Chain A
Amino acid sequence: MEINTPFFKQRAHDALKDENLQKALGNLKAGFPEKRAIAVDRMPEFEELRNQGRDLKNHILEHLDLYLEQFESKVIENGGQVHWARTSEDANRIILDLCKQVDAKTVTKGKSMVTEEIGLNDFLEANGVQPVETDLGEYILQLRGDHPSHIIAPAIHLNLEDVSETFHKHHNRPKSDDPAVLMQEAREVLRDKFVAADVGITGANFCVAETGSTIIVTNEGNGDLTQTLPKTHIVVTSIEKVVPTLEDMTLFLRLLARSATGQEFTVYNTLSTGSRREGDQDGPENFHVVLVDNGRSEMVGSEFQDMLRCIRCSACMNHCPVYGAVGGHSYGWVYPGPMGSVLTPQMIGIEKGGMLPNASTFCGKCESVCPVKIPLPKLMRHWREDEFQKHLQPKAARYGLAGWAFLAKRPALYKPYARMASWFMKRLAGKKGRIKKLPLAGGWTDWRDMPAPQGTTFMQAWKEQQKAGEQP
Chain B
Amino acid sequence: MVTYMPNTPSGPRVGLFVTCLADMFRPSVAFATVKLLEQAGCSVEVPERQTCCGQPAFNSGDRKTTADIARQTIDAFDGYEYVVGPSGSCIGMLHYYPEVFDPADSYYQRALDLKSRSFEITSFLFDVIGADALQDQLKLLQFNHKVTYHDSCSGLRQMGIKQQPRQLLQQVQGIELEEMEEAETCCGFGGTFCVKYPEISNRMVSNKTDYISNTGAHTLLGGDLGCLLNMAGKLKREGKQVEARHVVEILAGMTDIPAIGEADYDLAQKL
Residue positions of A touching B, CB distance < 8 A: 9, 12-13, 16, 321-322, 325-326, 358-365, 367-368, 381, 383-389, 393, 397, 401, 404-405, 407-409, 411, 414, 418, 421-423, 426, 430-434, 441-444, 446-459, 461-466, 469-470
Contacts and interface: CB of A to CB of B under 8 A. Distances in A.
19 contacts: A16-B203, A321-B185, A361-B201, A363-B157, A381-B59, A411-B51, A411-B72, A430-B264, A443-B195, A447-B199, A447-B201, A448-B233, A449-B233, A451-B233, A454-B27, A461-B267, A461-B271, A462-B27, A462-B30
Contact of B200 (A12, A414, A433): A12
Contacts of A441: 195
Contacts of B48: 411, 459
Residues of B contacting A: mostly: helix
Given A360-B193, A397-B192, A448-B230, A458 B236 contact: no
A386 to B, nearest CB: 7
B217 to A, nearest CB: 18
Nearest to B263: A433
Interface of B: 3, 6, 18, 20, 22-28, 30-31, 46, 48-52, 54, 56-63, 65, 68-69, 72, 153-154, 157-158, 184-186, 188-205, 207, 229-230, 232-234, 236-237, 258, 260-269, 271
A404 B56 contact: yes
A466 B72 CA distance: 24
Contacts of A421: 24
Given A414-B51, A459-B46, A450 B59 contact: no
Contact of A448 (B31, B63, B236): B236
B268 A456 contact: yes
Contact of A454 (B56, B157, B201, B267): B267
Residues of A contacting B: mostly: helix
Contacts of B18: 458-459
Contact of B3 (A9, A358, A383, A466): A466
A430 B264 CA distance: 8
Nearest to B54: A408
Contacts of B271: 456, 461, 464-465
B63 A385 contact: yes
A387 B205 CA distance: 28
Contact of A321 (B204, B237, B265): B204
B209 to A, nearest CB: 9
Contacts of B195: 441, 443-444
Nearest to B229: A451
A452 B264 CA distance: 8
B134 to A, nearest CB: 22
Contacts of B30: 458, 462
B26 A397 contact: no
Given A408-B52, A408-B57, 19 more contacts: A13-B199, A321-B185, A322-B200, A325-B203, A359-B200, A362-B191, A381-B59, A388-B62, A393-B60, A401-B57, A401-B65, A414-B51, A426-B268, A433-B262, A449-B236, A453-B25, A454-B28, A456-B27, A458-B30
